[in-house]
Amino acid sequence: MACAKRLTELGMVVEVFDKARGPGGRMTSKRTTHGYLDLGAQYFTAREPRFIKQVQHWQQQGVVAPWLAPVWQYQQGKLQPSPDSQYRFIGVPAMHSPVKQLAMGLNVQYQWQLTKLQYDAAGWWLTDSQARQLGPFSAVVLSIPPAQAAAMLPAELAASLPTASLTPCWAVNIELVAPSGVPAGGIFVKDPALPVSWLSRQNSKPGRMHSESWLVHFTPAFSQQHLEQDDSFWQQSAVTCLAQILSADISSKSILCHRWRYAQINPASQATATQALSQGLWLAGDWTKGGRVENAWLSGIDIAEQLTYG
């Protein structure tokens, strides 16, 4: 969406297609009857000057706020505060709110799944899941996981994509019957004996679920190993881990599971820098620069500028 907005600012005519019902991808929050729930990105940081400026702008527009809840750590069997000076931000009221803001005024088609991309002398032609053909377009920017991009490209282009560059992440949200008494907002889990990497208390964030709810992110290795297990496996695993980390009996009001097939960068796979794959075909996304929200935004901006100025 950052790419589409920047291209529009630079005078290009842009159309955006997204198979989802709304904007945000891994920044999408799920709407529940008790408030939003962040199943994907939990927060973001801003280090690059252009992104810092963008975040300040979003704050002025009221779609981003700092997340000031205390950060804790679980290591060697101990749960304790792990304070730092890092500013962390969240979208408000939902993680996708800043993406929605970027999309305002753009020509975006949701629930429009593209299945095939072809190139001829006239330009790029897109085919969707209902066999409709769109085009020609002078350039196409794909901001989807490389494995999904490969599935829609001609074989000679697909072969060069780093399809294993993103690893899966199972996410489980546990809404507790009674408060745990643990005041942490987020917990970095650094215990190799546990299959979990991160916990965050959703009710420490404005706009999210009101009652105490813990979102559990499983490690890439464990998520991959048990990728096809059903929800009951993940519910049980999440409750066991949460009980151990919080040192509490866990009684849940509700549990929700979500599988992200493509979530975090695989350290074993070499990320490809922002790139033009072939005539007018570009790949964008956090995975091209390192898996953070800031990098997703920067990759979009960089491509828009390279595409326009060459």
Residues that bind ligand NAD in the complex, under the rule CB under 6 A:
44-45, 71, 73, 82, 84, 86, 88, 169, 188, 198, 217, 260, 263-264, 291-292
User: 97 or 197: whose CB is closer to ligand NAD?
Assistant: 197
Minimum distance from CB of 86 to ligand NAD (Å)? 5
Minimum distance from CB of 264 to ligand NAD (Å)? 4
**Partners of 299 in the β-ladder:** none
**How far, in Å, CA of 231 to CA of 258, rounded?**
8
**How far, in Å, CA of 41 to CA of 95, rounded?**
8
Query: CA of 139: how far to CAs of 13, 121, 123, 128, 199, in Å?
Result: 11, 12, 7, 17, 40
User: 169 or 256: whose CB is closer to ligand NAD?
Assistant: 169
User: 93 or 185: whose CB is closer to ligand NAD?
Assistant: 185
Minimum distance from CB of 71 to ligand NAD (Å)? 4
Q: List, edge to edge, every strand of the sheet that includes 196-201.
A: 78-81, 71-75, 186-189, 196-201, 213-218, 166-176, 252-265
Q: Give the length of the chain.
A: 310
User: 168 or 207: whose CB is closer to ligand NAD?
Assistant: 168
Q: Let me know the angle formed at the C-alpha of 166 by 224 and 205, rounded to the nearest 5 degrees.
A: 90
Q: Let me know the angle formed at the C-alpha of 13 by 10 and 17, rounded to the nearest 5 degrees.
A: 115
The residue type at 256: L
Minimum distance from CB of 127 to ligand NAD (Å)? 30
**How far, in Å, CA of 291 to CA of 32, rounded?**
27
User: 17 or 198: whose CB is closer to ligand NAD?
Assistant: 198
Minimum distance from CB of 169 to ligand NAD (Å)? 4
- Contact by Cβ (8 Å): 241, 182: no
User: 224 or 254: whose CB is closer to ligand NAD?
Assistant: 224
Minimum distance from CB of 300 to ligand NAD (Å)? 16
